[in-house]
Amino acid sequence: MTHENAPLPVESAAPLVSVENLSVTFRSPDKTVTVVNDVSFTLREGEALCLLGESGSGKTVTMRSLMRLLPPTAHYTGRIRLRGIDVLALKAGQLSGIRGSLVSMIFQEPMTALDPVFTIGQQIAETVRRHDGVSHAAARTRALDLLELVQIPSARRRLDAYPFELSGGLRQRAMIALALSCRPRILLADEPTTALDATVQIQVLLLLRSLQRELGMSTIFVTHDLGVACEVADRVAIMYAGRFVEHGAVDDVLTHAAHPYTEGLLHSTVHAERQGGRLEPIAGSPPDLAALPPGCSFEPRCVFARAACRAGMPPLSERGAGQLARCIRGSSIHEASAPVYDAEASL
Amino acid sequence: MTEAIRQPDIGGPAQPMLIVRDLQRHFVIRGQTRRRKDVVRAVDGVTFEVAKGETLGVVGESGCGKSTTARLLMHLTPPDRGEIILDGEKVGDPRGVSVRDLRRSVQMVFQDSFASLNPRLTICDSVAFGLRVNGQPATTARLNADAMLRMVGLTPETFSDRYPHELSGGQRQRVNIARALAMSPRVLILDEAVSALDKSVEAQVLNLLLELKERLTLTYLFISHDLAVVRYVSDRVVVMYLGKIVEVGPVGAIYDRPHHPYTRALLASRLSMNPKQRISAPPLTGDPPNPIDPPSGCRFRTRCPIAEAVCALAEPRLARVDAAHDVACHACDAGSGHTLARLTGMEGA
């Protein structure tokens, strides 16, 4: 592994992942839906970013775009660079050069992501042989090392186990081992612990956190669970209706949320210490992506909404060190539009 | 309107709404070899009570028997053994209450809001279905169904004639709640009813459930794996592990003074919600064992940090540790022979 790490310092000046104005549109004969809209972010070596949002907010599509795993109906615009490689410009045949070795992915449901008719050992060894061109025996040794790396007990025996013979937690560990088999620099994790029980979830999250530190990987998590983000992320990006609405260090975003949607999410999450009383949910439900409201997508559900919000999509604006929010409240436009709001309130 | 079929309080306020005694259900499945039959001990001798107007939370990991318990209560799966007493009347007993009446008094809301609705019926027809089956004429049933939809916050003018696929997850779950309430039940079993919903919608549905409970004086059995949600809604909590109850008590006692090592581990596994105080070591290692062949004695002993020889020999009984707070752990049972038991006993004295 050391020889692989050697060229990295040279490139570490540039971010490992850089996404600029990414939009993903799905076209069907009757409608065109923009699922990811103007998303930009960068990720440094060893950093963990968490994309947080509700179902349909575009977080999974954003993540899958990084590996070009979307169906052919997806139409990309913008730019994705992984370690300087322009992913959207690659030909289909070149994609296998980055998948697995530069960027790899773990999925929510390991039972459907793993092949049911091959043993865990066979699946990992096959990947290792395909990418590293080593012998069967060497690949199997590597598979055993990987199972030990992800802390699967009695790993030697588990090499010959089929996915159905493993418990949910072990299956997820096996999938992590498979994802790590070609020493990726970037690990994408799509709801990696959602299907797991609480006591197993925390084990897997701690494993991912320690692996990330040990192997110096960058990780992008997709989750809907604020708790997961708190445990693993350095930075979080809150997504709503295909856009980043807030982006910043996990501490900042969760302690002083700048966007009303983030605030709403925090209020409607049932915290450990709460009992009885009313929760403060966000009214309404997420908008139809094919018919977004004019202006801010969150405006119809927002308690702070005012006339200026319908005028146009607010830009992501700076709120303190490295924290960005897509809301006119607290930005300069807010002050300018205050009288409009007062006039409305007095009606 | 629906008052007409509201069921009366028979046993008075002191009579528990539901008493469950020694409920058991084992499933026989095909074993590894053709000769062998494996038995899944899904629910293995479960006893609890639910008082009138109370919300009893049931928590535990997958495979611990939470959902099977719910299905047994409705006789959706017939129990092998044990009795269910609804407001003082034994279910299935000639002098008690029939299974048909039980299913009218106890209604259920499931996790998968889409799978639990007939895709070919409009939501008004779905809600009216039970009423029609129970003898209401079609027009009355539809009127009542509309009233129910209004009660759960769906305007009938907009929603009545829609099909399930035209609704969002939160709206569909409201329809399921409306359908359950159309029968004017006294007990509502909520089996992971909010687990599949997004956080912002989950909060809306939880608020609705608390509101309805007060308005209609309902009794809830709230099953969930989400400890925070259970704490939020419950008065008392049952903790299950591999088909057994390991701890039961008032919500405050369970969350603030848990006695069973499993309850403690489960609570310690909750995510911190504070990036500055991250969890550094997992409270438990490994997954729950297979319910086909559970460990002897105490079922938790294979993952328990304080397991001793006695734990493999004898099954712990539910012993009282505090007011209305029972724990099935040798370490909390003074006469069990566990070395920690005497200490706990002295604390209590």
pLDDT in tens, B227-261: 989 999 999 999 999 999 999 999 999 999 999 99
Residue B129 main-chain phi, psi, to 5 deg: -55, -50
Q: Which residues of B touch A271 (CB under 8 A)?
A: 228, 273
Q: Are B327 and B259 in contact (CB under 8 A)?
A: yes
Residue B318 main-chain phi, psi, to 5 deg: -75, 110
Q: What's the pTM value of the predicted model, to 2 decimals?
A: 0.86
Chain A residue with Cα closest to B228:
A272
Query: Least CB-CB distance to B62: which of A197, A202, A224?
Result: A197
* Of A255, A253, A250, nearest in space to A232 by CA: A250
Measured distance CA(A7)–CA(A10) in Å, rounded? 6
**Does the CB of B166 have a partner CB in chain A at under 8 Å?**
no
Residue B147: partners with Cβ closer than 8 Å, 6 or more residues away: B1, B2
Give me the mean pLDDT over the A193-218 stretch: 91
Domain that holds residue A136: 108-183
Domain range summary for chain B, segments of one domain joined by +? 13-234, 240-332
At A85 the pLDDT is 92
* Of A283, A287, A280, nearest in space to A301 by CA: A283
* Of B285, B224, B63, nearest in space to A170 by CA: B285
At B186 the pLDDT is 94
A342 vs B267, residue with greater confidence: B267
| 3-class DSSP state of A150 | coil
Query: Least CB-CB distance to A227: which of B171, B271, B282?
Result: B271
Per residue in A11-24, pLDDT (tens digit) is 445 789 999 999 99
Domain count, chain A: 1
- With bands split at pLDDT 50, 70 and 90, how would you rate the model's confidence at A8? very low
Query: Least CB-CB distance to A230: which of B225, B265, B273?
Result: B273
Residue B270 to residue A268, Cβ atoms within 8 A? no
- Chain A: give the shortest CA distance to residue B83, in Å: 30
Chain A residue with Cα closest to B284:
A199
Q: Which residues of A touch B279 (CB under 8 A)?
A: 202, 206, 231
Residue B61 to residue A231, Cβ atoms within 8 A? no
- With bands split at pLDDT 50, 70 and 90, how would you rate the model's confidence at A335? very low
Give me the mean pLDDT over the A154-160 stretch: 92
Chain A residue with Cα closest to B198:
A54
Measured distance CA(B274)–CA(A80) in Å, rounded? 32
Give me the mean pLDDT over the A181-192 stretch: 93
For residue A333, pLDDT beyond 60: no
Per residue in A255-310, pLDDT (tens digit) is 889 999 999 988 888 765 556 667 888 888 888 888 888 899 999 999 888 888 99
Q: Which residues of A touch B266 (CB under 8 A)?
A: 198-199
At A31 the pLDDT is 85
Q: Which residues of A touch B281 (CB under 8 A)?
A: 206
The verdict on residue A176 lying in a domain is: yes
At A273 the pLDDT is 59
- Tokens 């309404």 -> residue: A284
Size of interface A-B (CB pairs under 8 A): 135
Task: Tally Cβ neighbours within 10 Å of residue B257.
Answer: 14
At A260 the pLDDT is 93
* Of A260, A254, A257, nearest in space to A240 by CA: A260
**Does the CB of B213 have a partner CB in chain A at under 8 Å?**
no
At B173 the pLDDT is 95
What 8-state DSSP symbol labels residue A97?
G
What residues 23-82 of chain B have any CB closer than 8 A to a CB of chain A? 61-62
Residue B279 to residue A285, Cβ atoms within 8 A? no
Query: Least CB-CB distance to A202: which of B169, B210, B282?
Result: B282
Task: Tally Cβ neighbours within 10 Å of residue B169.
Answer: 18
Q: Are A222 and A59 in contact (CB under 8 A)?
A: yes
**ipTM of the predicted structure?**
0.83
- Arch. (CATH architecture) of B13-234: 3-Layer(aba) Sandwich (3.40)
The rounded mean pLDDT for chain A is 86
- Chain A: give the shortest CA distance to residue B79, in Å: 26
Residue B200 to residue A231, Cβ atoms within 8 A? no
Q: Which residues of chain B have pLDDT under 50?
A: 1-4, 345-349
Residue A197 to residue B200, Cβ atoms within 8 A? no
Q: Which residues of B touch A269 (CB under 8 A)?
A: 199, 203, 228, 273
Residue A291 main-chain phi, psi, to 5 deg: -140, 70
Continuous segment of H or E residues that includes residue A19: strand A17-27
For residue A117, pLDDT beyond 80: yes
Residue A280 to residue B283, Cβ atoms within 8 A? no
Q: Which residues pair with B83 in a beta bridge?
A: B21
At A276 the pLDDT is 61
